[in-house]
Amino acid sequence: MTAPLLEIRDLSVTFAGRHGEALEAVSGVDLTVNAGELHGVVGESGSGKSVTMLAVMGLLSPGARLSGSIRLDGRELVGLSDRQMRRIRGARIGYIFQDPMTALNPLLTVGDQIAEAIRIHKPQVGRTQAREQAVELLRLVAIPIPERRATQYPHEFSGGMRQRAVIAMAMANEPDLLIADEPTTALDVTIQAQIMELLERLRRDKGVGIVLVTHDLGVVAGAARSLSIMYSGRVVERGSVDDVFAAPRHPYTAGLLASLPQAGTRVDRLTAIPGSPPPISMRPAGCSFHPRCAHAVEQCRIERPALREVGAVTVACHRAEELVSTGLMQLSGADA
Amino acid sequence: MSAAVTRNAGRRAMLPQWATLPVVFGGIIVLLWVVVGITIPLWTPYDPTMLAGGRFQPPNASHWLGTDALGRDVLMRTLYGVRHSLPIAALVIFCAVLIGGTLGAIAGFVGGLVDSIIMRLVDVTLSFPPILLAMAVTAALGPGLGNAAIAMVIVWWPIYARLMRAQVLSVREREHVEAAIAAGATRPRVLTKHILPLCWSPIIVNATMDFGQVVLLAASLSFIGLGAVPPTPEWGQMISDGALHFYRWWIAAGPGIAILSIVLGFNFLGDGLRDFLDPRSK
Amino acid sequence: MTTYIVRRLIAMPLLLLGVITVAFLLTYFTAADPLTSIIGERQMNNPAVVEAARERWGLDRSLPERYLIYLGNLVTGDMGTSFRTRQPVAQDLMVRLPATLELVIAAMFLGTIFGVVLGVLAARFRDGPIDNIARLFALVGASAPVFWSGLLVLFIFSVQLGWLPGPGRIDTRAVAPPFVTGFYTVDALLAGDWAGFRSVLLHLVLPASVLGWTVTGIVSRMVRASMLDVLSQEYILAARAKGAGPLRVLIHHALRNAMLPTLTILGFSFAYLITGAILTETIFSWPGIGSYAVAAARGLDHPAIVGVTIVGGAAFLISNLLTDIAYALVDPRVKLSQQESS
């Protein structure tokens, strides 16, 4: 069997804090994405999901320390020089940013910015040729009248159109992997659906592997086949979307699911998980989730749970089996 | 930005922070010059207008910066020069703040036609390149250090008028002012007791920053021949002398370095303070 | 933004009228009798000469009369006659304007390039030694009196090292290129006079550097601040995510955006350059408006002083206005709002 498209093994990322102390933003993360697969990475802000993705791109600030392994098609990326990484960024991996308002350079036309992405990696492509390709890419992401749109500046685009342009830019060199970091968060709900539909089409037609980073389980539900849930810099649950949604094993996942609006019902107040994630510098011992967990026992405070297979999913919770058996999680109402 | 907030926050929380290297460095230079200016008659070996030795002597053991075309000691003249530059600058800034501040406060407080007239005057004055206006005024009044000072006040007052007007306009909206008006305080009393005390701090900061520029402009006017008249050991005047004999570099070197150091001192001070006041640039 | 520019355009003539009025009044209320500088001290005792001169120069009329006459003449481009050169002031200024413009443009060019480079380096290596050196260099430039630093560079590079020519616009033995634009560089090129062009260019180096240094600080501080601002934007990260190299990110993406706020202070630096040009021209025997202004002020040549002051004020006002317009043209966001509202 060939190597997976993206394989992250035991990745940890440490930053230096204000007073020189080490802050571990990401701890021992494993993640596997196959070609043509859409994998969801779900977590609240500060869970380490964006840091993990920036680590894949080699775009962390110079002070960050990496350990573990990131392989793209079997090739190790950790330890590559910036010059080597530059040949991968934008060529093998495309990156889609959260806010299309700020991810486009306001002073360059959209066409120029896409053409730039092409010419950085294929200097032999002529200027006019690159512009033609840029127009084709805008057509690919379903922007109407792409010839005219290519000559316009970002501020002349609506939010959804900008995000399409950002996706076109990420797709410029037909990468094998797209990393979409909260691609729909800044957009209106109806536009969100269109962007997700576009990503799905790119996956299907172009066979591109996609990592969809989001805090919104609902977004993943419609698009992804498999997902990883992150909390406090760790993966706490991983499995196929169907399995996880049907029977979440981790109390955190269950909480996230419970906070989803139920199909068909109009809720004024969502069931939210009490409390908020701890800041990096104050992560508790044991299971990081225990201060917010209704089912925490003494063991959770002391011993950090390892990821293990429970039923169809992989989960990091000491009480994964009993919590399901005692039927505490009959909450998975959201339809996949 | 409100004055009171800046000042109070600045005093308590930031005191160690704004004592940065540039601020300390600039402060020391300025302080040194002030000390020299005050004490120099007590320890000087030569009178600045006295002929101390041969003409055009390059720097040597008895005349560290050499002597000028008349045989006067350049170092002594340079050190005495600060007794003209700093008091003039202080006087100019003081008068400009007083006049500009008063007019700006009246414009902001009274409003209406008075405001329009004063502010149009400000606009017109600020439409001139500073040195040209100063030259024209000095030429009209007749050359001399006093007239140059008047010219510089005319150049600088509009800056403080604008600042003060903006301050008054923002402070006027505060609750305690409205309370005072409601309590029946007279208008002059409201202005002097309730508004003005809160307006000063940004003006003082700005005045500190402008000091260097005033020293530079005063020296420039003297250099052109519109400021200090010959026997006076004024820096611009001395450089003008040195320019006639610029192959003898030392004649202009003393006053040149003096101007550079004192303006640099004020600029360091101002630059450091601005960094501290404007978080964007830090 | 558009309405702002329109407002500025409307205010322009009014401000200009204010400038003219102030400049005119200044010489009217002069302490020294301008006649002294016209006919000389000795002739002041000769009533016939005094009376004739008074009438000839219109000094016998009332203030409003003289003001209206001056305004009327100004409209036709007549600024009166210089007491000193006995030439029409407007003509004197026209002849000298190109020299000043050539110097100021060269200084602006050098100052901006150096300022931008320093600012970019300072932002890129923020708080490091390069940042501090750039800051010191900029502050010294803003603090050094040009009338001394000019002398110093003349002494070092011309007298001691002999690398560059001394004062003046062109080699004293050379003939000035035939007048077309008044810019010696351009005229020498038009005449195909390469030796002359070289000489003119070399003569420009020292004064333009000294003068340009004064604005290096303003430009570099501004570029540094806006570069730091821009570098933290997401589109910079996006450019790196495309695989763009560090230089491309810094220049193509960051600097372009950082130049926008920098444009706004170019008008401000122009004020510095006018101030500096007056003094620099005096040091370098540069036959421009600055040295003319100094000579006029020294000689109490009132028509010339008023003329120079008006021209300087106009240049000042126009440069500030141009800065605003340039800002509107460069930023596509502003351009759009213009199209929409017009």
Task: Give the pLDDT of chain C (342 residues) as one tens digit per residue.
Answer: 567 777 778 888 888 899 888 888 887 776 556 666 666 666 667 777 777 777 766 666 778 888 888 888 888 888 888 888 888 999 999 989 899 999 999 999 999 999 999 999 998 888 888 888 888 888 888 888 989 999 999 889 988 888 888 888 877 777 778 787 888 888 888 888 888 888 888 999 999 999 999 888 888 888 998 898 888 888 999 999 988 888 889 888 898 888 877 777 777 777 678 778 989 999 898 999 999 999 988 888 888 888 998 888 888 888 878 777 776 666 655 544 444 333
* CB–CB contact A89 C239 (8 Å): no
Q: Decide if C306 is inside a domain.
A: no
Bridge-based pairing of strands A234-240 and A226-231 is: antiparallel
Q: Which two tokens stand for residue B110?
A: 């009274």
Burial class of residue C306, CB neighbours in 10 A (0-12, 13-18, 19+): buried
Give chain C's radius of gyration (CA, Å): 24
Residues of C with CB under 8 A from a CB of A: 233-235, 237-246, 248, 252-253, 256-257, 260, 331-333, 336
- For chain B, how many structural domains are there in total? 1
Q: Across-strand partners of A26?
A: A13
Asked if residue C284 belongs to a domain, the reply is yes
Prediction ipTM score: 0.83
Contact C336 A172 (CB under 8 A): no
According to DSSP, residue B69 is labeled: T
Q: By percentage, how much of chain A surpasses pLDDT 90? A: 33
Among A200-204, A226-230, B18-22, B183-187, the least confident range = B18-22
Shortest distance between the Cα of B257 and any Cα of chain C, in A, equals: 8
Give CA–CA dist B121/B126, Å, rounded.
Answer: 9
Which chain C residues in 144-203 lie under 8 Å from chain B, judged by CB atoms? Answer: 144-145, 147-149, 151-152, 154-155, 159
Give a yes or no: residue C85 inside a domain. Answer: no
- Do C148 and C277 lie in one domain? The reply is yes
Q: Residue B150 belongs to what domain range?
A: 85-281
Q: Do C145 and B225 touch (CB under 8 A)?
A: no
Highest mean pLDDT among B24-38, B233-247, C26-40, C318-332: B24-38
Nearest to C305 among B131, B136, B216 (CB): B136
CATH of the domain at C292: 1.10.3720.10
Do residue B224 and residue C145 have CB atoms under 8 angstroms apart?
no
Q: Is there a single domain that holds both residue C142 and residue C206?
A: yes
CATH code: domain of residue B172? 1.10.3720.10
Cβ contacts (< 8 Å) between C242 and chain A: which residues? 89-90, 116-117, 120, 169, 172
In this structure, is residue B124 part of a structural domain? Answer: yes
pLDDT for A179 beyond 90: yes
Burial C249-268 (b: 16+ CB within 10 A, else e): bbebbbbebbbbbbbebbbe
Gap between the Cα atoms of A49 and C254, Å rounded:
27
Same domain flag for C145 and C198: yes
d(CA A296, CA C53): 106
CATH 3.40.50.300 in chain A: give the residue spans.
Answer: 6-229
> How big, in percent rounded to 5, are the helix, strand and coil portions of chain B?
75, 0, 20
**Ranges A6-15, A134-143, C318-327: which has the least confidence:** C318-327
User: Does C268 lie in the same domain as C135?
Assistant: yes
In this structure, are C231 and C329 located in the same domain?
Answer: yes
Minimal CA–CA distance to A317: which of A334, A332, A300, A302?
A300
Q: Does residue C168 lie in a domain region?
A: yes
Q: Note the pLDDT tens digit of each residue in A72-88.
A: 998 999 988 888 999 99
In chain C, whose CA is at the least distance from the CA of B130?
A: C275
Q: Give the pLDDT of residue A335.
A: 37
Q: Which amino acid is at B26?
A: G
How many structural domains does chain C have?
2
Residues 229-258 in C contacting B (C-alpha not used; CB under 8 Å): 229
**B78 lies in some domain:** no
Average pLDDT over residues B145-174: 90
Do both C25 and C101 map to the same domain? no
Distance from CA of B281 to the nearest CA of C (A): 5
Looking at the structure, do residues C18 and C126 belong to the same domain, yes or no?
no
A145 phi-psi bin (left φ>0, alpha ψ -120 to 50, beta other): left
With cut-offs at 50, 70 and 90, classify the pLDDT of residue B103: very high
Cα–Cα distance list, B229 to B226, B234, C221 (Å): 8, 8, 37
Select from A228, A225, A291 the least CA-distant residue to A256: A228
Query: For residue C82, is it within any domain?
Result: no
Provide mean pLDDT across the span A90-104.
Answer: 88
Dihedrals φ, ψ of C47, to 5°?
-60, -35
Nearest CB among A103, A121, A156 relative to C336 is that of A156
B29 found inside a domain: no
Statement to judge: residues C118 and C60 lie in one domain: no
Domain presence at residue C330: yes
How sure is the predictor about A186, in pLDDT bands with cuts at 50, 70 and 90?
A: confident
Q: Which CATH superfamily is domain A6-229 in?
A: P-loop containing nucleotide triphosphate hydrolases (3.40.50.300)
Q: Which of C7, C8, C143 to mutate: most B Cβ within 10 Å?
A: C143
pLDDT averaged over chain A? 85
Same domain, C177 and C276: yes
Q: Are residues C108 and C187 in the same domain?
A: yes
Structural domain of C187: 96-300+311-341
Q: Is the pLDDT of residue B55 over 80?
A: no
- What is the pLDDT at residue B98? 93
From CA A34, how far away is CA B42, in angstroms rounded? Answer: 87
The span from the CA of C222 to the CA of C41, in Å, is 52
Whether C49 and C146 map to the same domain: the answer is: no
Residues C15, C103 within the same domain = no
Neighbours of A161 (CB within 10 A): 21
Query: Scanning every residue of chain C, which has its alpha carbon at the shortest distance from the alpha carbon of B281?
Result: C225
Q: Which residue of A has its CA nearest to C259?
A: A107
Asked, for residue B6, whether it belongs to a domain, the answer is no
Nearest-angstrom CA–CA distance, C263 and C327: 6
Structure confidence at residue C322 (pLDDT): 78
A–C touching, 3+ CB–CB pairs within 8 Å: yes
pTM of the model: 0.77
Among A204, A247, A239, which residue's Cα sits nearest to residue A220?
A: A239
**Of residues A82, A95, A116, nearest to C241 (C-beta):** A95
Per CB-CB distance under 8 Å, the chain C contacts of A59 are: 237, 240-241
Residue in B with minimal Cα distance to C269:
B129
